[in-house]
Structure 1
Amino acid sequence: MAFPSTLSRRPPDDKTGGRISPAAFPISPGEIPVSFRSDTVIIGAGQAGLAMSHCLTRLGVDHVLIERGRVGERWRTERWDSLRLLTPNWMTRLPGRLYSGDDPTGFMDCRDVVRLLEDYRQAFAAPVMSNTRVIQLCAANGGYRIATDRGDWFARTVVIATGACDKPCVPTITKRLTDRIVHLAPSDYKNAAHLPKGGVLVVGASASGIQLAEEIHRSGRNVAISTGRHVSVPRSYRGRDITEWLDLCGFLSDERRPDADPQQLARQPSLQLIGSENRRSIGLAELSRQGIRVLGRAINAEDRHMQFASDLDTECAAARERRQRLLARIDAHIDDTALEAPEDPAAWESGYVPDNPAGWLDLQAEGIETIIWATGFRRDYSWMQVPVLDRHGEIENTLGATAAPGLFVLGLPFMRRRASTFIDGVGRDAEHLAPLIARQLNHPAGSLAA
């Protein structure tokens, strides 16, 4: 049977070793014409998409990855120059790949991560369609139609692996500030030399915010940081890296509770850590000692003024309690397993006692010309025409499976476990989802699904 040429032509893939095989498939009257087909389409070719691709390849499930840019695009273009992973190299575990370099306790920079992902992709010839933007996803004919700027696909199953760091989540108070202030997100920042002259206010004190505040201050600028809820931890504790202890004691493997509030989970701040060669700690105490002004939560703005909450002391006390609960859990693991680890009582105190600055601040009088909003990210699914979004615009899912048959998601905060957005954690989530996808396809490997 002959089909139209638009159905049988090969998609414009890029060095995938011929693994993309969109066989022509018949279109019955009334069906939506498409150019290509695959059993599974994975949207996104970062660590989440590649991990899923590896798992499906291992199970023999036909699939393709559609990527708006290049493999690991956000690591290439949306990270600042000096950024390093917060986890040591040995924790960059992906399905079928363990770290094999000569610096297991070091921290990869963005170039290293891109090389890691490229090497991983090539190792199993992941079928990636690069530089292809998804325009629309909708249900069609018992599966899904994925419209892109390089042709339309039909797939019986889809995995949304576009990640957690999508669009900057910037508070609405920015609209009340004078247009003389330059507003940036961490994804816009490259280095201090590219900033306008003058002081900088960093809003948000998770890992990104504190690292940027310190780097910009060291460039010779006046810097202030606004902080609300945060988690302060030491870089090393009782002779090991803190992330190693978190891995050993099961903290990173904590499973998501069925009754958990997804919005509360999404708002959990990242640990105040920095991946540095000298393995140093970073937090509000260190920033304050360097001369960085620590302010409370930004709650209001008007023209050139910004208002900060008066609960900084309360937030710091809560952060200290979180730190101590975390260290107590590590101590309990050490005791239960009889591991030898030297005591470290100094790590139990954050060392920062705020003087509780609050009220209105005149940004112009302080010489602040730039605000960096390190206030997290939201996901933009405006291209998705499948009714699986909650009232906040996030994908409702149960451990990665949505209510729409055959539609899955990977790489969201605390999706299955606390480490679901980590390179290591996303791989384990992919290993769980792959057999479920195979079962949805009635593939023999679906019998592996729990």
Structure 2
Amino acid sequence: MSDARPGRRPRPTRAVTVVVIGAGQAGLAMSHYLGRAGIEHVLLERGEVGNAWRHERWESLRLLTPNWQCRLPGLRYAGPDPDGFMTMPQVVDFLRDYARRLSAPVQAGTTVRSVRQADDGYRVITERSEWRCRAVVIASGAFNLPVVPPLAKALPASVDQLTARDYRHPGQLAPGGVLVVGASASGLQLADELQRAGHAVTLSVGEHVRLPRRYRGRDIQWWLDAAGIHDQRFDEVDDIGRARRLPSPQLAGGDAPATLDLNALSARGVRLVGRLVGLHETRLQFSGSLSAHCAAADLKLGRLLDTLDAWARTRGLDGCLEPPQRFPPTRLPDAPCLGLDLADGGIRTVLWATGYRPDYRWLQVPVLDRKGQLRHHGGVVDAPGLYVLGLPFLRRRKSSFIHGVDDDARELCDHLAAWLARGQRQRARARHGTILDGPSNKAEDSPIAHCHLDA
């Protein structure tokens, strides 16, 4: 089907072996390995390198991972503050400098309009040009579109609304009370910032993951790395779907990072309520499950710390670490709040920190499930020559972190290179009269799909 329109100049067509969509940490890591393998490729970026970090985060945000953990293939943090936490401008500089070192073939300001299968690969159409390629790597991220519940449309016009992607600083908000919906990392950090800025904050809490910032004298990320938890693979988990849906842990970075949990917020005056479940006229309705969600998070935290203590003990590390400790259970309100009337003026703004989802509206290939998620096996998508990189728990529990994309990019590049080589051999044999089946894109076709890292 032609995209030509009357009076419109046809888009120029270019050929390349691989198109990578996105030039954040995932796209750049894949570019490193494609370049090392000698595979011709281009990165199509809708904005500029690190675009989401640059334009879609609030001003005070810090990474949840310490600087010593910030690394990409061939580059590690080498600054003066390894135990600090990067600001957003610092993250952007880190990615931009990495792209320059790579001489990454980034086409900035290039928005992909559609990706379609073609006779010998894919047809990638942008507003500028058309690309023909053998393979496509989707590295556009998992946090493109804020998830906002349908009841948001029914809120009174007197109540302002914004999402965590739109929020920049407390000065954006009108004076008055704020309801923050969502108690993962973003929700907790925003509730804390707004309460400190003088707003009366109510926090709606659902399922969450509670973690201390430091444990036994070490950052919690050190423990998760050293004990091999970050390296747990997708094919080692009983329910990978649930593992990929887990909320981000309640953590925050900063100049003097401390544990940020529900106890810390309630001590500062933040009111805790249950999960937002409905709206009747002007009255918001909250679930009575606050105590159950908090008890579950407390229980899982205790089990994790037991696991970490056992790991340290078996490796003889108890003598060089602080003694084990356990944290107080989450303090609950004396009386649960099951509803708030927006008509009384107590809530002036609702801030949705209810998560994100990928944006695949441009993907014209039948690889999405009924929930709009890509069908893939560790990043190998259910279509020949189509891959995805940078999603939560893609191949490992650390996949969505900056430092976690390295191993995934290396393995998927190996798979992609093997797939290209098979296709080339098959086409060569076909030219000599041998008829073969088309190349497969199943993850099990490559031995890398079943390799395991040592913990």
Amino acid at match of 2:340: L
Which residue in the other structure is 1:402 paired with? 381
- CA deviations over 1:355-404 (Å, ceiling 9, x no partner): 35232211242521111111111122111011111110010100100121
Preserved CA contact (<8 Å) 1:48 1:426: yes
The question of 1:275 aligning with 2:253 is answered: yes
Which residue in the other structure is 1:422 paired with? 401
The question of 1:353 aligning with 2:353 is answered: no
Give the Cα separation in 1 of the matches to 2:91 and 2:176: 33
Give the Cα separation in 1 of the matches to 2:16 and 2:398: 30
Choose from 296, 303, 327 the match for 2:274: 296
For normalisation by structure 1, the TM-score amounts to: 0.89
The question of 1:363 aligning with 2:342 is answered: yes
Give the Cα separation in 2 of the matches to 1:354 and 1:253: 38
Preserved CA contact (<8 Å) 2:274 2:338: no
Mapping of 1:209-288 within 5 angstroms? 209-257=187-235, 261=239, 263-288=241-266
The question of 1:383 aligning with 2:395 is answered: no
Which residue in the other structure is 1:196 paired with? 174
Choose from 321, 332, 345 the match for 1:341: 321
Give the Cα separation in 1 of the matches to 2:34 and 2:331: 48
Give the Cα separation in 2 of the matches to 1:328 and 1:425: 25
Aligned length, in residue pairs: 418
SS where residue 313 of structure 1 aligns?
Answer: helix
Choose from 306, 330, 333 the match for 2:308: 330
Give the superposition deviation at 1:37: 1.2
Preserved CA contact (<8 Å) 1:295 1:356: no
Amino acid at match of 1:395: L
Give the superposition deviation at 1:253: 1.2
Choose from 78, 82, 93 the match for 1:104: 82
Give the superposition deviation at 1:232: 1.2
The question of 1:137 aligning with 2:137 is answered: no
Amino acid at match of 2:357: R
Give the superposition deviation at 1:448: 9.5
The question of 1:181 aligning with 2:137 is answered: no
Give the Cα separation in 2 of the matches to 1:142 and 1:265: 35
- CA deviations over 1:393-446 (Å, ceiling 9, x no partner): 0101001001211000001111111111111111221011111111122189x9
Unaligned runs of 5+ in 1: 1-31
Amino acid at match of 1:121: A
Amino acid at match of 2:322: P
| RMSD of aligned Cα (Å) | 2.1
- CA deviations over 1:92-139 (Å, ceiling 9, x no partner): 111111111111110001000000000000001000000000000000
Identity of aligned residues (%): 46
Unaligned runs of 5+ in 2: 1-9, 426-444, 449-455
SS where residue 231 of structure 1 aligns?
Answer: coil
For normalisation by structure 2, the TM-score amounts to: 0.88
Which residue in the other structure is 1:208 paired with? 186
Give the Cα separation in 1 of the matches to 2:299 and 2:419: 45
- Structure 1 runs, 4 residues or longer, greater than 4 Å off: 258-263, 446-449
